[in-house]
Every structure is written in C-alpha cells, then in structure tokens.
Amino acid sequence: MGVGVIGYGYWGPNLVRNFAEQVAARVVAVSDLSVERLTQVHARYPKVKLTTDFREVLCDADVDAVIVATPVSSHFDIGMRALQAGKHVLITKPITADSEQAMQLIEAAEQRGLVLMVDHTFIYTGAVQTIKQMVESGNLGQLYYYDSTRVNLGLFQRDVNVLWDLAVHDLAIMDYVLGRRPVAVAATGAAHVPGHHVNLAYLTCYFEGSLITHHHVNWLAPLKIRRTLIGGARQMIVYDDLEPSEKVKVYDKGVTLADAQGALESMIGYRTGDMWAPQLSLTEGLRVEAQHFLECVTHRRQPLTDGPCGLRVISVLEAAARSLAGRGQPVELTDESPRATATESLGGVSESA
C-alpha cells in the first residue's frame, strides 16, 4: 500500500517513521512547504518523492492513503480533496477546525467507501488499552469521575488554544474509555500572553447520573504532569504517563455504606486494599495505530478512532469554547450536535486491534 504524507513539521517525522517501518506499506511521497524539511526527509528516506505542493501527493497514482499532518485550519480542505481523489485518509488531531467540517468529511468518506481515521494516538498505547479493559470489565464498579491533568511549559500554538492542543488528547481517551457522551460542558481559563490564545483551561463534562469528568491543561506550568485519576465505586485507577514502567495503577479502595439503624443517612466506611500495576505493552502507540490504519484500509473496516470519534471530541471542544467565553457558563450538548455516531462498532474494531 502506498502512503503519502502531507506536512512534515513536529509530528510528521514520527508518522513517516512508523509507516516506513510497516511491512505492509511504503511511504511514497511527502509534501511540506519547507524545502529544508524536505531535505531532512531525503537524508533519511532517499527514495521518497518530495514536493512543496500537496496536490501532487493527492494525484499520485501510487498513493492509496493520505496522512494529513498540517495545521488544523487546513485539515478539512486537504482531507476533503484527498477523499475526492479516492484516497483513504488519516488526519492528525483534532480532526477539523469545527464539527460541521468533521461531519462533511465523515459523509464524504462514507459515500465513497473510504476509510477516514483520526490520529488519536494515545488510544493505541498499552496503558489506555489496559484501562479500557478494566473499565469494560466492570471491576471498578459504578464510575464516579475521570480527572486528567496535562500541563507543562510550552509549546504555545498559534492557531488554537490549549484545549484544542492538549485537552483533545484527554477527551479522546475519555471518549474511548468511558464509551459515553457528556450532556453538558463547563470551562474556565485564561490567556496570559498578549496576542495569544487561552493557555490555561479547566474543562468539566457532565454525564447522565453522577459521572463527571474534569480536564486541566496548561502551557505555562513549571512541571510536566500527565496524570489521570479514574474513580469507581469499587476500584480506582491512577494513570501517570510519565512513569517509566508502572504507568497504570489500580487501587482497591473506596467507601462502604452501612445502613445505620434508625438513621436516615447511611454511615460511611473506608476500604483500602492492595494496589496493582499490570504489565503493559511497550509498543509505541503510533506503531500500533499505523498497523491498525493499514488493516482498516485493507479490510475496509471502521477504525477504532474513526470520523465520528473525532467529531465527538470536536463537539465537546466547541461547547467548551462557548463556556470559556462565558466564564464557565454551562453549555448543553444535544444529540444533534455531533450526528451520525450510530453505526460504529467498537467491539468489532477492538477485535481487529
């Protein structure tokens, strides 16, 4: 299978490397506006065709699938042209600049029977796969909360705010792990650097019942933190992506309720048990993802991180943007906002993965 890559900036080299290492694929062409970057491609992959005009990649007959790794604002235009040229498409996150664009891409791919996938790379790591299995097993009991922190110093983005840059990872993981959609969103934050977007934000998602998620993102933190707490009635998970080996820890902890005789309120007790850190696959997430994309294209399967998945994340970000502008004013998420999430079959997809 021939792969063309459009955009060789921050993330592009990782994409090219991982697809180049797949036996089932060949990186045919790479385009970028910078000749200097193309020179780097040539130094490492001397057989790859190079161009500063991405349209050459789209009309290359050797290219079966196109990977879009450009700034967000161009995702829709390039992605749509690629689909129209009959190419399968993998787009870096977030899938598009708004949900309307995402819906159009989804529709275009469906009409043509082409694979449309979004590069939510964490979904393909051993850590997130293990967490997903734990949550699905029901061992955690009723889910109470999902709380993520993703902060560090830099890199300020020019075209999007910190939610679109960092929270998109957590929203994608949350969407996958919980398998549920929020009903309302509230977000607060601040822009500290003149002429730049919001660089610090806090996002809360409300779900049916008492499940709540919260996502803290910051480009101006002195420390790098990548930590998620998932609380259930019976067990709780701590996922620390910076831990070298024990990234996922399961705590057998919680509260117990005893009916106090003659009392209206139940008495709370505390339960603490063992902690357990399961062995995780150490394969690079992007490597698993590249393989999954190629399999989906070969067998015309719906990817684990398909268009509707990218759309769901965008729709939360859009609601967050509105709430942010209103200092935390809550925004309801209606079923119509991200349409077409119907036919996805996560189970089938998981099997293939």
Which residues between 116 and 175 bind a copy of itself (CB under 8 A)? 144-145, 147, 149, 151, 153-154, 156, 158
Instruction: Decide whether 102 or 140 has the Cβ nearer to a copy of itself.
Output: 140
Is 258 in a helix, a strand, or coil?
strand
**Cis peptide before 166, with omega less than 30 degrees from 0?**
no
Q: Could you tell me whether strands 143-153 and 65-68 are parallel, antiparallel, or unpaired per DSSP bridges?
A: unpaired
**Residue 200 in the binding site for a copy of itself (CB under 8 A):** yes
Q: How far is the CB of 177 from a copy of itself (least distance, A)?
A: 16
Q: How far is the CB of 8 from a copy of itself (least distance, A)?
A: 17
Instruction: Round to whole Å and give the CA distance between 291 and 254.
Output: 39
Instruction: Decide whether 118 or 173 has the Cβ nearer to a copy of itself.
Output: 173
Q: How far is the CB of 43 from a copy of itself (least distance, A)?
A: 9
Q: How far is the CB of 186 from a copy of itself (least distance, A)?
A: 3
* Sequential DSSP letters for 71-121: -GGGHHHHHHHHHHTT-EEEEESSS-SSHHHHHHHHHHHHHHT--EEEE-G
Stretch touching a copy of itself by CB under 8 A, among 1-9, 55-63, 200-208, 291-299: 200-208
Instruction: Decide whether 85 or 183 has the Cβ nearer to a copy of itself.
Output: 183
Q: What is the dihedral of CA 336, 340, 343, 344, to 10 degrees?
A: -100
Query: Site size for a copy of itself, by CB under 8 A?
Result: 73
Q: How far is the CB of 343 from a copy of itself (least distance, A)?
A: 23
**Residue 188 in the binding site for a copy of itself (CB under 8 A):** yes
Name the amino acid, one letter, at 63: V
Q: Six-digit token pair at 167?
A: 């929270």
Stretch touching a copy of itself by CB under 8 A, among 5-13, 83-91, 93-101, 204-212: 204-212
Residue burial 236-249, b: 16+ Cβ < 10 Å; e: rest: bbbbbbeeeeebbe
Instruction: Round to whole Å and give the CA distance between 39 and 36.
Output: 5
Instruction: Decide whether 231 or 285 has the Cβ nearer to a copy of itself.
Output: 231
Instruction: Decide whether 84 or 329 has the Cβ nearer to a copy of itself.
Output: 329
Instruction: Round to whole Å and give the CA distance between 177 and 342.
Output: 18
Stretch touching a copy of itself by CB under 8 A, among 68-76, 193-201, 309-317, 345-353: 193-201
Identify residues 308-327 at the interface with a copy of itself (CB under 8 A): 323, 326-327
Identify residues 250-309 at the interface with a copy of itself (CB under 8 A): 251-255, 257, 264-266, 268, 270, 272-279
Cβ-based neighbours of 346, under 8 Å, separated by 6 or more: 179, 304
Residue 346: how many CB atoms within 10 A of its CB? 16
Please provide the size of the chain in residues: 353
Identify residues 212-251 at the interface with a copy of itself (CB under 8 A): 212, 214, 216, 218, 220-224, 229, 231, 233, 236-238, 242, 244-246, 249, 251
Phi-psi domain of 273 (left: phi exceeds 0; alpha: psi -120 through 50; beta: other)? beta
**Residue 61 in the binding site for a copy of itself (CB under 8 A):** no
